[in-house]
Structure 1
Amino acid sequence: MARATIKSIAARTGYSVGTVSSALRGAKSVRRETREKIQKVANELGYRVNLDGLKLRTNKSYHIAVLVGVSMDASEEWEGVEFTRILSGISIALQGSRYQLSVFSVSDIESAIVTLQSIVHEGLADGVIFSGTRRNDPRIAYLQKHGFPFVTYGMSDSPKPHPFVDFDSQAAAYDATTRLIDLGHRRIALINPPGDLIYAAQREKGYLDALAVGGVSFDSELICNGPTTALFGRQAFQALMQAPNRASAIICANEAMTLGVLSAAAETGVQVGRDVVVISTDDLHLSQYFVPPPSTYYLPIVETSRLLGEFMLKSLDGADPSETQKKIRATFIERQPDTPAPQMARAN
């Protein structure tokens, strides 16, 4: 089989040699639809560009950086479970493009800023993807200041719009709380991430809004903020069960926290489904194997993270942020009857 060339791609697509050449370089003078069509044919014909030469001509690295948070705490057993799926989704989106993933491990915001400085000033990547957006996030401010393309897994409070993909945490918390109120629960706890995270604030707002609409008084003792780990879920459950007027239902921010709650319940003789109801969010489909398996708000994380990669490519192509923002509603999966414990129902 003859080696694919720009001329053979031009003959197949009907575009001129100049247009094909520009499209394969990623030139913005060629419409995105045309570039995608030409790239598809190039892939079908097995065309391989001299990437080293292309990097020199375009002054681009053809790498997408993904910041992965790595905890220094060895007790965080859940670490890495979610990021493998996120990386998988992004990789799927980059297939067929010239871009490759570069993973950078960071332990906190300070190390993330140092890493971003290296990426930007040393040309280690052409764009960045990261998660865990915070209030007044310095990573976002830094990248916007330098005009460097990025996409976040999570919304932000930045006054300047930017590309993001996010799980509608506020809606999930509101729906879960409303569901429990309608079933008779009045002591509903929320085990939530640290308060400086944007999605923690979103969940708390959804929770508080549902309490207000349902006419249920708010008790600050029912909100537990901490690391999204099984260990914290266990500790939070133990604290909630020691309260004089303990919770009859608990909403957990992720499956790791939920696992800690279920473990603590089993150890203390509290029966989930009879004495207390547990609902989990950020379901990775692992909780279906928990005992008992809790009801969850499921989000297909590979599909969600694929959007991160797609939005990154569009951002590098100069797309307006309005074209690269998506908030996704989760699907509720009922695995347990969310009825109030009899004694709780009588007490309220």
Structure 2
Amino acid sequence: MARATIKSIAKLTGYSVGTVSNALRNDKSVKEETRQEIQEAAAKVGYRVNLDGLKLRTKKSYRIGVLVSVSTEDADEWEGVEFTRILAGISSALQGSRYELSVFNVANMDDAMAVLARIVQDGLADGVIFSGTLQDDARIAYLQECGFPFVTMGMSDSPKPHAYVDIDSQTAAYDATARLARLGHRRIALINPPSDLIYARQRQAGYIDALKQAALMPDETLIFRGPTTARTGHDAFAAMMAMSEPPTACVCANEAMTLGVLSAAHEAGCKIGRDLVVVSTDDLKLSRYFVPPPSTYYVPIEETSRLLGDYMLRALAGVDPTQNQKKIRATLIERQPDTPAHKEAHHPQPTEELQKT
């Protein structure tokens, strides 16, 4: 069977070669009904664009670069778990387009900057997606200076607008903290990522706002920071229980930290829900299998990652960055009953093993 070409599709449909070519490129000069008719005909005869020739003509790679953070530290056992779902969502958004994903592993900021320079200067991709936005993010400043299309998972403090998809971390932390305060908890801890991350600062702001709204004085000693891993949650629990007046509730930034808290509590003989109430944010629905399963603020990661791909395509098409920005609000999943603060909670001292970690 002869390979389908633009000329053969033109002969089949009765349209000119130019119209067929424009329709297959999704050119807006072709009416929507005509584009659909031509594209359906092309699909039936198995037409596939000659990407090699197209790349030469357009000087484009037809690839989207995604920066994925990798770590060689044993303690970072959870970091990156969600990236498989993020990549799947981006890929689904690119289906039907000519673009494919290229994944670039980066270990730190210097590594990321070197990779971005290669992508931009060597034409390895036409656009870039990355997460973990920082204060004064050098990646964003570089790409904006180069005029290179990009989308971030997370807002930034850049004075120039750029495309992003973000979780409303501030509202999630506010809601979780306010919920605990309404239940009578007066010492509420926050287990949070490092404060150089934009979303960590947003989450802390929501936490403090909720405390002030409840007439509670924010206490820096109740804020624990570290990588978004189970180890951080495990260590934070030990530090909490070593306090002369331990908190009766805590808000965890993600499921990994929550898992660490639950594990340490079990080791110490602390009953979750009685001695300590735990609420998790950035839920990926894995925590429904934890024991006990905590109440969480669910993040629709599939919707979020599909939007990253959609916004990337829109950015490549020249859409104004202010039209490619969205914050997604997390929704509460109640897996534990509302537990009021106990006047005399049982707070066991950390075991020798916990004290050493």
TM-score when scaled to structure 1?
0.93
- Per the alignment, do residues 197 and 35 of structure 1 end up closer, same or farther by CA in structure 2, a change over 3 Å counting? farther
Alignment of 1:132 with 2:123, yes or no, is no
Match of 2:313 in 1: 313
SS of the residue corresponding to residue 227 of structure 2 reads: coil
Alignment of 1:147 with 2:147, yes or no, is yes
SS of the residue corresponding to residue 343 of structure 1 reads: coil
Give the gaps of 5 or more residues in structure 2: 346-357
- Per the alignment, do residues 316 and 296 of structure 1 end up closer, same or farther by CA in structure 2, a change over 3 Å counting? same
- Per the alignment, do residues 86 and 14 of structure 1 end up closer, same or farther by CA in structure 2, a change over 3 Å counting? farther
Superposition deviation, residue 13 in structure 1 = 7.5
SS of the residue corresponding to residue 239 of structure 1 reads: helix
Provide Cα deviations, 1:11-65, integer angstroms capped at 9, x if missing partner: 78886431331343466x7479689747853445432011100000000000000
Match of 1:18 in 2: 18
Match of 2:183 in 1: 183
- Per the alignment, do residues 311 and 39 of structure 1 end up closer, same or farther by CA in structure 2, a change over 3 Å counting? farther
Amino acid at match of 2:222: L
Alignment of 1:108 with 2:108, yes or no, is yes
Q: How does 1:193-342 map to 2 (within 5 A)?
A: 193-342=193-342
Match of 1:119 in 2: 119
- Per the alignment, do residues 10 and 331 of structure 1 end up closer, same or farther by CA in structure 2, a change over 3 Å counting? farther
d(CA) in 1 for partners of 2:12, 2:206? 54
d(CA) in 2 for partners of 1:258, 1:32? 53
Superposition deviation, residue 143 in structure 1 = 0.2
SS of the residue corresponding to residue 82 of structure 2 reads: helix
Superposition deviation, residue 237 in structure 1 = 1.0
d(CA) in 1 for partners of 2:12, 2:224? 61
- Does the CA-based 8 Å contact 1:89-1:305 persist in structure 2? yes
- Per the alignment, do residues 117 and 33 of structure 1 end up closer, same or farther by CA in structure 2, a change over 3 Å counting? farther
- Does the CA-based 8 Å contact 2:183-2:341 persist in structure 1? no
d(CA) in 2 for partners of 1:123, 1:268? 54
d(CA) in 1 for partners of 2:35, 2:165? 23
- Does the CA-based 8 Å contact 1:24-1:38 persist in structure 2? no
Match of 1:6 in 2: 6
Provide Cα deviations, 1:60-85, integer angstroms capped at 9, x if missing partner: 00000000000121222213310000
- Does the CA-based 8 Å contact 2:170-2:206 persist in structure 1? yes
- Per the alignment, do residues 292 and 40 of structure 1 end up closer, same or farther by CA in structure 2, a change over 3 Å counting? farther
d(CA) in 2 for partners of 1:169, 1:339? 23
d(CA) in 1 for partners of 2:157, 2:344? 39
Alignment of 1:170 with 2:173, yes or no, is no
SS of the residue corresponding to residue 175 of structure 2 reads: helix
- Per the alignment, do residues 274 and 320 of structure 1 end up closer, same or farther by CA in structure 2, a change over 3 Å counting? same
d(CA) in 2 for partners of 1:289, 1:132? 27
Provide Cα deviations, 1:147-193, integer angstroms capped at 9, x if missing partner: 00000000001111111001100010011111111111111110000
Match of 2:99 in 1: 99
- Does the CA-based 8 Å contact 2:64-2:102 persist in structure 1? yes
Amino acid at match of 2:293: P
Amino acid at match of 2:98: R
- Per the alignment, do residues 65 and 16 of structure 1 end up closer, same or farther by CA in structure 2, a change over 3 Å counting? same
d(CA) in 2 for partners of 1:197, 1:35? 48
- Per the alignment, do residues 313 and 266 of structure 1 end up closer, same or farther by CA in structure 2, a change over 3 Å counting? same
Identity %: 67
d(CA) in 1 for partners of 2:199, 2:111? 22
Q: How many residues align?
A: 344
Provide Cα deviations, 1:229-262, integer angstroms capped at 9, x if missing partner: 0001100111011111111111000000000000
Match of 2:348 in 1: none
Amino acid at match of 1:149: P
SS of the residue corresponding to residue 60 of structure 1 reads: coil
Superposition deviation, residue 303 in structure 1 = 1.8
SS of the residue corresponding to residue 336 of structure 2 reads: coil
d(CA) in 2 for partners of 1:116, 1:34? 40
d(CA) in 2 for partners of 1:32, 1:109? 46
Superposition deviation, residue 136 in structure 1 = 0.5
- Per the alignment, do residues 75 and 46 of structure 1 end up closer, same or farther by CA in structure 2, a change over 3 Å counting? same
Moved over 3 A (4+): 1-5, 7-16, 22-27, 29-40, 42-45
Match of 1:68 in 2: 68
SS of the residue corresponding to residue 65 of structure 1 reads: strand
Superposition deviation, residue 338 in structure 1 = 3.1
- Per the alignment, do residues 35 and 314 of structure 1 end up closer, same or farther by CA in structure 2, a change over 3 Å counting? farther
SS of the residue corresponding to residue 338 of structure 1 reads: coil
d(CA) in 2 for partners of 1:147, 1:33? 31
Provide Cα deviations, 1:190-218, integer angstroms capped at 9, x if missing partner: 00000000000000111111111111111
TM-score when scaled to structure 2?
0.91
SS of the residue corresponding to residue 343 of structure 2 reads: helix
Match of 1:87 in 2: 87
